[in-house]
Structure 1
């Protein structure tokens, strides 16, 4: 099973009024696909924050496959 890094961002305004993504949470999950990694990451994010929907604390959720290091 591949490992995915799931990252959650919230858009926040900086002092010039421009929106910037601020990382809210990041978790490493084993999954068979990017979609299942996002779903697992969303469940973990909700559990960690005591909420029922991840969109209450973040605006985006992205999953990226992690390359395994070979010795």
Structure 2
């Protein structure tokens, strides 16, 4: 997502909440600094989310590597 406004942020979190109801743990990956700053300014609460800077870190946090996925 290139630009995050209140509508985009609201939709993202509605999707995350719906996935949570299904038992899916959601992880946000690769949020650019300016997008993260906008989301913070909008008052978005990240306390229930896992946020990783890139796919490699996300996979490592799940004890996976690209090699294990091939």
Note whether the superposition's TM-score is higher than 0.5: no
TM tier, shorter chain?
under 0.3
Structure with more strand by fraction = 1
* TM-score normalised by the chain length of structure 1: 0.27
* TM-score normalised by the chain length of structure 2: 0.27
Between 1 and 2, higher relative CO (CA 8 Å, sep ≥ 6) is seen in 1
Structure with more helix by fraction = 2
